Structure 1
Amino acid sequence: MELTIRNLSKTYANGVRALNGVSLTIPNGMFGLLGPNGAGKSSLDHFASLKGIRDGHERKLAVEALLHQTNLWAARKKNLGGYSGGMRQRFGIAVALLGSPQLIIVDEPTAGLDPTERNRFLDLLSEIGENVVVILSTHIVEDVTELCSNMAIIAGGEVVATGQPAE
């Protein structure tokens, strides 16, 4: 899959123009978007139902697979409120993966994570990026250079550079 964005603009109610005619072509895999700063099993099951996975057996299999993939299986009976920041991030990814999407957008996904959780989460995103388009929106340059094969830099609501992080 490839995502094409043409002339995307966004102006907030207070008049701030966040995006001004942004156009990008984003290939399958991890794509970095750099710019300045400006659960439990039952919860996952509920989201699966909301995303249209109605069959109970199919839903159970999907939830179990995602709990394993996001390394949350051991915490499956724990209340979501007791999850650490990293666990909440991984739970969010599990919810996003329900229904096999072709596009996932994550905004500042490693903010507030300790180094171990950060690495675990980045590994998970990299694994997911092998099959779908993942847009990583962040101000952390290292996250983009470590994970993304392509990127864009946005400043003042406009794309000021595109290419590979090594460039």
Structure 2
Amino acid sequence: MTRGLRLIRDGVTAFALLALIALIAAKLNDAARIEHAGAFHAADGDSLTLGEERLRLEGIDAPELHQSCERAGKAWACGRAAREALQAMVLTAGTVCRGNRRDRYDRLLVVCRNGARGDINAAMVRGGMAISYGDYGREEAEARAAKAGLWAGTFERPRDVRDHARQSSGFDSALRFIGQIAGWE
């Protein structure tokens, strides 16, 4: 009987220890929600700065700042237009951005709200100045149907523009550099 009680005692102790470890892990993983309000500056159509803090609007992808798109057969600076649209939305008093995760560039991933406009991330997609990156499919469908912003013409997806820029700056740049050294150019 003593051996049976020891087994029960050891089992209960092991269970309690595992439960304690699980609680500690859950607490460490429970990141605090960070909230920012103030004079935001739009770095581009999906990124903000507030002092030294860099924020990335979660769930959307806007054209790159220097990206151009086509509308009615003419090029237009859709990247700059997206930044201007975001800047206009965050200038209004009462804008608050909240998030609790960071991306690989250490930007806080946020959803921004304003009493007058509601969800600013959704408004950017609904206005056709950004595409949905997972969370705003309904708003993107509305923008497409209304041919708003980007959807009024043709454009390259921002992710594709970034990928193309990375490819151009990588191997091709190395070849150009070697060519300059060797006198091929």
Q: Which has the larger radius of gyration?
A: 2
Q: TM-score, normalised by structure 2?
A: 0.22
Structure with higher strand content = 1
Q: Which has the higher contact order (CA 8 A, sep 6+)?
A: 1
Q: TM-score, normalised by structure 1?
A: 0.24
